[in-house]
Amino acid sequence: MRTLCFLGAALLAMATPLAAAAHESSLKIEGPADAYVYELAPPGSYDLPRIGKAADARLLDEDGETVELGDLFKGRLTLLTFMYLRCGDVCPIAATRMADLQLLAAEDPALARQLQLISLSFDPAHDTPARMAEHGRAMRLPDPAAPDWLFLTAESQAAIAPVLKAYNQPVGRKADPDDPSGPLAHLLRAFLVDGEGYIRNIYSADFLDPRLLLNDLKTLQMEAH
């Protein structure tokens, strides 16, 4: 189990230099949109209605300091995903998609300054602030033009439970704790939150494509102007 965990971490750590190499060359991003039967709509050609208010939560940042999720949303465009470090299944895929979004957003300085990515762990007993900080260092682009990427956790399982309920993020324990894909079962749900704290889109694994995300972000940016 530990070997698999270290392997997963190593693969994630590889994402940053590989992404940087792509940025230096053709910036070719691949993902689910390659298999869509329709072309992505241009930014601003569609609306993203408010789905509902994004729930607040008291969390811990990478330094172990308390942060309010609602405060982080203010004035920013946010892509929030739930994850856990021992995941060997959908979480590494989501992390790669977010790393690709870093690359695309870095090409638009105004958008990059407004955008923040948040990866929030639902496994606080294992995913301590120190471990989240280490993971963050491996995933962030070493580019000052890239958007902020925060890696947050909670004080306890009791503290994260109401947050999962508020975002309708199901998480359960697997019968086999030594499952190579990790001990927890969950669905991937990523939330696009505007600067007033409203959820504007929710993505599953099939639609967490950096090009679709970028178009949605630019649509919200244009809406504000």
Q: What are the chain's domains?
A: 2-224 (3.40.30.10)
Taking the C-alpha atoms of residue 142 and residue 164, their distance in angstroms, rounded to an integer, is 31
Amino acid of residue 69: L
Is 70 exceeded by the pLDDT of residue 42? yes
- Of 109 and 179, the one with more pLDDT: 109
Q: What percent of the chain has pLDDT over 70?
A: 88
- pLDDT at residue 31 is higher than 50: yes
Which residues share a beta bridge with 199?
A: 52, 193
- At residue 89, the pLDDT reads 85
Q: What is the pLDDT of residue 168?
A: 94
Locate tokens 């923040």: which residue? Answer: 116
Separation in Å, CA 63 to CA 44, 74, 129, 218: 38, 21, 6, 31
R_g of the chain, CA atoms, integer Å: 17
| pLDDT tens sequence across 137-181 | 999 988 889 999 999 999 999 999 999 999 999 888 877 877 777
In DSSP notation, the chain reads: -HHHHHHHHHHHHHHHHHHHHHHHTT----SGGGG-SSPPPPTTSS-----EEPPP-EEE-TTS-EEEHHHHHTTSEEEEEEE-TT--SHHHHHHHHHHHHHHHHHTSHHHHHHEEEEEEES-TTTS-HHHHHHHHHHHS-S-TTSPEEEEEB-S-HHHHHHHHHHTT--EEE-S-TT-TT-SEEE---EEEE-TTSEEEEEE-GGG--HHHHHHHHHHHHHHH-
What is the per-residue pLDDT for 67? 98
Distance CA 141, CA 134 (A): 14
Q: In this model, does residue 36 exceed pLDDT 90?
A: no
Amino acid at 158: A
**What is the predicted pLDDT for the residue at 7?**
35
pLDDT of residue 32: 83
200 by Cβ neighbours in 10 Å (0-12 / 13-18 / 19+) ranks as buried
**pTM of the prediction?**
0.85
Instruction: State the pLDDT at residue 22.
Output: 38
Q: What is the pLDDT of residue 17?
A: 41
Q: What is the rounded CA–CA span in Å between residue 211 and residue 132? A: 26
pLDDT value of residue 27: 67
- Contact between 120 and 59 (Cβ < 8 Å): yes
The answer, yes or no, to whether residue 19 has pLDDT greater than 90, is no
List, for residues 48-69, the tens digit of each pLDDT value: 999 999 999 999 999 999 999 9
